[in-house]
């Protein structure tokens, strides 16, 4: 085995991840931990300032309810999420996040985030729930608050440490193991409670951007399904693993469209099919009642565009020039004011990308595209796993303690594995939390985990023999490379191992072709899923032969293994749910209709690490009384 030092870290609360929900968890938990003399430790695979989905910044805060100004109620938000997810949402969780999210946004502002204000001093809304921000440094600001809170409470932060597996004592999570991505150090974190907040997953499906564009994707390439892998391996029940997210984005550089649709009131059209949302309106009848709700659910908006693409009516375009001209038209009588407004709109259009997807601005520049003069191509991306946005995959967590929810077995946001909590992309069926809601949910989980430690926390019982076995398994790829890489002229081709890039391509090919990726027009079926699982079983066998030439590749190996776990949970859940409920995300071609009678329920799954078997379950939907 590679000669790496084992570093043991003892803590009370372990936060795995350093993104928005982790920062929320850290800020809140540190506050309570300080009062109780407890230690909080946070571990991020990257550097907190620029890690996770918000690394590049964001141009909007997508969840703000506006309770203090009477703009909306928490119940309005529940109704919005219910419809957008075609009836499948944990309303207790959505409620809990929605009632706390505004205070999180007010904290962001206090910490220095610039939220746009109008002449009356009110927040400028992008849409009903969305606020415009100058968000290039969004993550830096939120990370600073988390770092300060942990430092003030005497906690510790580990950066560039990649968490792999949970440490279990029966059904109780007692810590985690991981490794440094820079030094020869294997980490053992022993904890009384653990929060899994390591984001969602990308590159499970083959991306549109291959070859020289590989690595460019909508979802950040750094998140590889670590939350899902961690909670699945802990034996926790998972939910909505079939509910992937496919955003429609500016093509090839994945720039955001929200500001165009909501702020600029732009239309999207297909080159020869026209305004697909208007032309194909009748299709929405097939997805009643959700198809007739405003706003039309995200997957159905996607679906109408996809129908045009499938018929070869594309490309799809965002009518940027038309939208800008429509807004500026109000100033037509005054040429000076008109010119000024055009300039302002033009800079807002560029700023929207420069705040969060710089590569889209570069692509526009490279293609000589001026948004005020010519429309710009949009396309449905490859599928991602991001339960905090408009997808829903994640762990099945306990509901808030003060609500009469049937989903309650312990502390708020605790998974079915004792002492293991989840938030953000780590927790499922509570979509549309976005950055602000993920932070708010992290705060909820952080406070709840400290309460658990105070009331039930015991010294973690960690079996160090098991830890040694995990260390050998996790570092094995380095040994395989060391032992065999000189046997062939090209070290990438070797019968004794597979390198991470090849492994990744194989996984992506399986998912793309069998599980409804871009190449199969987002369609799949029982037969396709079953064949995909057969191929995945062989891929899993080969995972034990993964080789890594350095720290970076070791991380790539474990990212791959985590993706496979996410992939398998996904395919099994699609297979189990015998209907099509989210066209525009995926289409079960052999079950092309929505079946509310049999399938208006959650699909949950649970993995048994000892037997390698999956258990699939239906869970009833609970709706909030009176909402």
Among ligand AMP, ligand SFD, none, the one that 287 touches (CB under a kind-dependent 5 to 8 A) is none
Alpha-carbon distance 449 to 413, whole Å? 8
Kind and range of the H or E run holding 613: strand 613-619
Q: Does 219 bind ligand SFD (CB under 6 A)?
A: yes
Compute the distance between CA of residue 533 and CA of residue 515 in angstroms, rounded to an integer: 9
Write the DSSP symbol of residue 122.
P
Among ligand AMP, ligand SFD, none, what does residue 262 contact (CB within 5–8 Å per kind)?
A: ligand AMP
**565: nearest Cα among 225, 93, 90, 97:** 225
Window of 220-228, 364-372, 567-575, 598-606 that interacts with ligand SFD by CB under 6 A: 220-228
Residue 220 interface partner, choices ligand AMP, ligand SFD, none, CB cut-off 5-8 Å depending on type: ligand SFD
- Near ligand SFD by CB under 6 A: residue from 39, 45, 90, 244: 45
Q: Which stretch binds ligand AMP (CB under 6 A): 45-53, 221-229, 232-240, 252-260?
A: 252-260
CB of 72 within 8 A of CB of 128?
Answer: yes
305 in contact with ligand SFD (CB under 6 A): no
Q: Yes or no: say if 381 and 249 are a contact pair by the CB < 8 Å rule.
A: yes
Q: Report the residue from 32, 77, 179, 222 that binds ligand SFD according to the rule CB under 6 A.
A: 222
By CB under 6 A, tell whether 257 contacts ligand AMP. Answer: yes
Among 32, 189, 385, 434, binds ligand SFD (CB under 6 A): 434
CA 23 to CA 160: how far, in whole Å? 16
416 contacts ligand AMP (rule: CB under 6 A): no
Size of the site for ligand SFD (CB under 6 A): 41
Contact region for ligand SFD (CB under 6 A) — 18-26, 277-285, 520-528, 607-615? 18-26
- Binning the chain into helix, strand and coil, the percentages to the nearest 5 are 40, 15, 40
First to last CA, the chain: 58
The distance of closest approach from Cβ of residue 45 to ligand SFD in the complex, given in angstroms and rounded to an integer, is 4
Which member of 12, 17, 74, 308 binds ligand SFD (CB under 6 A)?
17
Q: Is there binding between residue 299 and ligand SFD (CB under 6 A)?
A: no
Q: Which three-class secondary structure state does DSSP give residue 339? A: helix
User: CB-based burial of residue 136 (10 Å sphere; 0-12 exposed, 13-18 middle, 19+ buried)?
Assistant: middle
Residues whose CB falls within 8 Å of the CB of residue 184, separated by 6 or more in sequence, listed in order: 2, 3, 4, 5
Out of 160, 181, 258, 531, the only residue in the binding site for ligand AMP (CB under 6 A) is 258
Q: Which of 13, 40, 198, 345 binds ligand SFD (CB under 6 A)?
A: 198
383: contact with ligand AMP by CB under 6 A: no
Question: Between residue 510 and residue 549, which ones bind ligand AMP under the rule CB under 6 A?
Answer: none
For ligand AMP, the closer CB: 207 or 247:
247
What is the H or E stretch that residue 532 is in? helix 526-543
CA distance 384 to 202: 5
Q: Is 104 in the site for ligand SFD (CB under 6 A)?
A: no
- The rounded distance, in Å, linking the Cα atoms of 434 and 245 is 13
What is the closest distance, in whole angstroms, from the C-beta atom of residue 340 to ligand AMP in the complex? 27
Cβ at position 334, least distance to ligand SFD in Å: 33
Q: Please calculate the CA angle 366-370-376 and round it to the nearest 5 degrees.
A: 85
Query: Cα–Cα distance between 40 and 34 in angstroms, integer?
Result: 9
Q: Angle 526-543/551-576 helices, nearest 10 degrees?
A: 150
Binding to ligand SFD, residues 377-396 (CB under 6 A): 388-389
Residues, the chain: 627
Q: Is 247 helix (H, G, I), strand (E, B) or coil?
A: coil
Beta-bridge partner residues of 161: 180
Figure out which of the listed residues 262, 422, 450, 498 binds ligand AMP, where binding follows CB under 6 A.
262
> Which of 20, 364, 385, 421 forms a contact with ligand SFD (CB under 6 A)?
20
Please state, in angstroms and as integers, the Cα–Cα distance from residue 625 to each residue in 68, 78, 91, 600, following that order. Answer: 23, 11, 10, 18
Q: How far is the CB of 298 from ligand AMP (least distance, A)?
A: 5
Residue 38's binding partner among ligand SFD, ligand AMP, none (Cβ under 5 to 8 angstroms by kind) is none
Q: Which does 261 bind (CB under 5 to 8 A by kind): ligand AMP, ligand SFD, none?
A: ligand AMP
Residue ranges in 43-137 assigned as alpha helix (H): 74-84, 91-110
Helix (H, G, I), strand (E, B) or coil at 455: helix
Rule CB under 6 A: say whether 298 interacts with ligand AMP.
yes
Angle ∠(583,587,590) on CA atoms, nearest 5: 135
Q: How many residues lie near ligand AMP (CB under 6 A)?
A: 13
Segment interacting with ligand AMP, rule: CB under 6 A, options 257-265, 441-449, 519-527, 559-567: 257-265
Q: Which does 189 bind (CB under 5 to 8 A by kind): ligand SFD, ligand AMP, none?
A: none
- For residues 623 and 602, what is the distance between their CA atoms, to the nearest angstrom? 13
**DSSP secondary structure letters along 415-434:** -SSBTEEE-GGGB-S----H
* Residues within window 229-248 making contact with ligand AMP, judged by CB under 6 A: 247
For position 130 contacting ligand AMP by CB under 6 A, the verdict is yes
146 contacts ligand AMP (rule: CB under 6 A): no
> Is residue 199 a contact point for ligand SFD (CB under 6 A)?
yes
Helix 551-576 crosses helix 464-484 at what angle (to 10 degrees)? 110
Where in the sequence numbering do the catalytic residues fall? 62, 126, 218, 249, 352, 389, 435
Tell whether residue 65 is a contact of ligand AMP (CB under 6 A): no
Shortest Cβ 133–ligand SFD spacing (Å):
8
Examine residue 66 and tell whether it contacts ligand AMP (CB under 6 A): no
Is residue 27 near ligand SFD by the rule CB under 6 A?
A: no
| CB contact at 8 A, 412 and 448 | yes
Query: Minimum distance from CB of 25 to ligand AMP (Å)?
Result: 23
Nearer to ligand AMP, 129 or 189 (CB): 129
Of the candidate residues 87, 135, 199, 256, the single one contacting ligand AMP (CB under 6 A): 256
Least Å from the CB of residue 320 to ligand AMP: 14
- Site for ligand SFD (CB under 6 A): which residue of 2, 14, 15, 16? 16
Residue 392, C-beta contacts closer than 8 angstroms, at least 6 positions apart: 85, 88, 89, 239, 240, 243, 428, 429, 430, 431
Site residues (vs ligand AMP, CB under 6 A): 62, 127, 130, 247, 256-258, 261-262, 295, 298, 301, 390
Site residues (vs ligand SFD, CB under 6 A): 16-22, 43-46, 51-54, 58-62, 162-163, 197-199, 218-220, 222-223, 226, 256, 258, 388-389, 424-425, 434-436, 438
């Amino acid at each position: 085995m590679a000669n790496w030092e084992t570093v043991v870290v003892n803590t009370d609360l372990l936060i795995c991840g350093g993104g928005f929900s982790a920062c929320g968890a850290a800020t809140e938990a540190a506050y309570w931990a300080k009062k109780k003399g407890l230690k909080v430790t946070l571990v991020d695979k990257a550097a907190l300032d620029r890690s996770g989905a918000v690394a590049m910044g964001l141009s909007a805060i997508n969840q703000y309810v506006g309770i203090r100004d009477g703009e909306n109620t928490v119940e309005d938000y529940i109704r919005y999420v219910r419809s957008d997810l075609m009836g499948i949402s944990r309303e207790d969780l959505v409620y809990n996040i929605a009632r706390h999210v505004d205070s999180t946004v007010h904290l962001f502002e206090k910490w220095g985030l610039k939220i746009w204000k109008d002449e009356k001093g009110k927040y400028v809304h992008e849409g009903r729930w969305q606020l415009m921000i100058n968000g290039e440094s969004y993550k830096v600001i939120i990370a600073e608050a988390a770092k300060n809170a942990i430092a003030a409470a005497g906690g510790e932060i580990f950066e560039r440490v990649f968490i792999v597996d949970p440490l279990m004592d029966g059904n109780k999570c007692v810590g985690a193991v991981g490794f440094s991505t820079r030094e020869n150090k294997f980490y053992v974190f022993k904890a009384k409670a653990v929060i899994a907040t390591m984001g969602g997953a990308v590159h499970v499906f083959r991306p549109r951007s291959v070859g020289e564009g590989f690595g460019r994707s909508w979802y950040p390439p750094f998140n590889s399904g670590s939350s899902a892998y961690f909670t699945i391996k802990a034996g926790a029940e998972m939910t909505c693993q079939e509910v992937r997210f496919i955003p429609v984005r500016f093509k090839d550089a994945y720039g955001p469209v929200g500001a165009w649709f909501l702020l600029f009131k732009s239309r999207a059209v297909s080159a020869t099919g026209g305004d697909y949302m208007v032309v194909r309106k009748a299709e929405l009848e097939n997805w009643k009642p959700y198809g007739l709700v405003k706003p039309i659910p995200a997957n159905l908006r996607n679906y109408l565009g996809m129908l045009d693409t499938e018929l070869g009516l594309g490309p799809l375009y965002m009518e940027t020039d038309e939208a800008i001209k429509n807004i500026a038209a109000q100033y037509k009588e005054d040429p000076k004011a008109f010119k000024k407004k055009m300039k302002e709109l033009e800079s807002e259009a560029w700023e929207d990308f420069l705040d969060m997807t710089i590569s889209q601005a570069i692509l526009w520049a490279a293609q000589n595209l001026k948004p005020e003069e010519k429309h710009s191509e949009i396309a449905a991306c490859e599928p991602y796993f991001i339960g905090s946005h408009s997808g829903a995959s994640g762990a099945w967590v306990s509901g808030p303690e003060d609500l009469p929810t049937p989903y309650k077995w312990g502390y708020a946001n605790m998974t079915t594995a004792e002492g293991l909590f989840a938030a953000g992309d780590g927790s499922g069926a509570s979509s549309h939390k976005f950055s602000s809601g993920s932070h708010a949910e992290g705060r909820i989980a952080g406070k709840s985990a400290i309460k658990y430690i105070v009331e039930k926390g015991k010294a973690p019982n960690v079996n160090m023999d098991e830890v040694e076995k995990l260390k050998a398994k996790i570092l094995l790829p380095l040994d395989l490379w060391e032992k065999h890489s000189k046997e062939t002229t090209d070290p990438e081709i070797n019968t004794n191992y597979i390198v991470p890039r090849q492994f990744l391509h194989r996984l992506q090919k399986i998912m793309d072709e069998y599980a409804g990726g871009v190449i199969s027009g987002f369609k799949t079926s029982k037969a396709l899923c079953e064949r995909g699982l057969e191929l995945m079983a062989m891929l899993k066998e080969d995972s034990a032969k993964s080789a890594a030439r350095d720290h970076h590749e070791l991380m790539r190996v474990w990212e791959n293994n985590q993706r496979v776990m996410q992939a398998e949970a996904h395919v099994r859940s699609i297979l189990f749910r015998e209907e099509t409920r989210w066209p525009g995300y995926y289409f079960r071609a052999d079950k092309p209709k929505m079946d509310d009678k049999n399938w208006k329920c959650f699909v949950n799954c649970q993995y048994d690490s000892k037997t390698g078997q999956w258990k699939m379950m239906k869970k009833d939907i609970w709706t909030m009384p009176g909402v």
